[in-house]
C-alpha cells in the first residue's frame, strides 16, 4: 500500500502509472487483533504451555513486543516473555502452519532432491522463502523486473526503509 500511495501521489503531477488495482500479501487488518491472536494460535495448537499463554496474554502480548522491539525500546519484561515463547515453539516448528515441515538447511533440501526414492507424492516446498530471496537477488531477475536496489545491498522480505505505523 505504501508504494501504491507514492505512485498515486506521483501520478497527480505526471500521469505515468496506469494502476488497475492493488494486491495485498499477508496484510495486517487490525494491528492489535492480528498480532495478539498469535498467543491463542500457539496455545491452541499445543506449541506453548498454559503458563506461557497466560504471561503472553497478560504480561507482554505480541503487539506490545513488536511495538517495543521496532521502536528500539524493548523492555526486559517483554524480552523475557518472548524468550520463553521462543524456547517453547522452537525453530523446528513453522509458526504459520504447524503441520508443515520446516526448512532447516539447504544441505537437507539438496539431499532430498538427490534421493528421489525418499520422495513420496508431492509435498509443499518449505524452503520456498529462502529460494525466493535468492531468486529475487539475481541480477538478471532484478533487471527483468526493473528493480533498483536503492539504499540496500540485497533484497529482503523486510527492511528498515519502509515506515510501518504499528499502532
pLDDT in the model for residue 120 = 47
With respect to residue 21, please indicate whether it lies within any of the assigned structural domains.
no
Residue 123 has pLDDT above 70, yes or no: no
**Number of domains, the chain:** 1
With respect to residue 49, please indicate whether it lies within any of the assigned structural domains.
yes
Q: What average pLDDT is seen over the chain?
A: 79
Dihedral (CA of 129, 133, 134, 136) sign:
positive
The whole-angstrom separation of Cα 12 and Cα 34 is 34
Greater model confidence, 149 or 51: 51
The boundaries of the domain holding residue 61 are: 28-92
With respect to residue 45, please indicate whether it lies within any of the assigned structural domains.
yes
pLDDT tens column, 77-111? 999 999 999 899 877 777 777 777 766 656 555 55
With respect to residue 41, please indicate whether it lies within any of the assigned structural domains.
yes
With respect to residue 77, please indicate whether it lies within any of the assigned structural domains.
yes
Residue 162 has pLDDT above 70, yes or no: no
pLDDT tens column, 40-53? 989 998 889 999 99
Residue 140 has pLDDT above 90, yes or no: yes
**pTM greater than the 0.75 cutoff:** no
With respect to residue 162, please indicate whether it lies within any of the assigned structural domains.
no
The whole-angstrom separation of Cα 12 and Cα 16 is 9
pLDDT in the model for residue 165 = 61
pLDDT in the model for residue 151 = 77
Helices (H) then strands (E): counts for the chain: 8, 0
With respect to residue 33, please indicate whether it lies within any of the assigned structural domains.
yes
With respect to residue 78, please indicate whether it lies within any of the assigned structural domains.
yes
Amino acid at each position: 500500500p505504501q508504494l501504491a500511495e507514492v505512485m498515486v501521489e506521483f501520478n497527480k503531477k505526471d500521469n505515468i502509472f496506469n494502476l488497475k488495482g492493488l494486491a495485498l500479501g499477508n496484510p495486517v487488518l487490525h494491528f492489535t487483533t492480528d498480532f495478539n491472536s498469535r498467543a491463542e494460535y500457539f496455545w491452541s495448537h499445543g506449541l506453548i504451555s498454559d503458563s506461557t499463554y497466560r504471561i503472553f496474554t497478560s504480561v507482554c502480548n505480541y503487539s506490545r513486543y513488536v511495538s517495543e522491539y521496532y521502536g528500539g525500546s524493548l523492555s526486559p519484561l517483554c524480552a523475557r516473555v518472548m524468550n520463553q515463547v521462543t524456547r517453547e515453539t522452537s525453530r523446528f516448528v513453522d509458526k504459520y502452519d504447524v503441520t508443515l515441515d520446516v526448512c532447516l538447511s539447504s544441505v537437507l533440501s539438496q539431499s532430498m532432491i538427490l534421493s528421489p526414492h525418499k520422495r513420496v507424492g508431492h509435498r509443499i516446498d518449505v524452503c520456498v522463502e529462502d529460494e525466493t530471496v535468492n531468486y529475487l537477488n539475481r541480477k538478471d531477475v532484478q533487471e527483468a523486473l526493473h528493480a533498483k536496489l536503492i539504499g540496500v545491498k540485497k533484497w529482503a522480505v523486510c527492511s528498515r526503509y519502509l515506515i510501518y505505523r504499528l499502532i
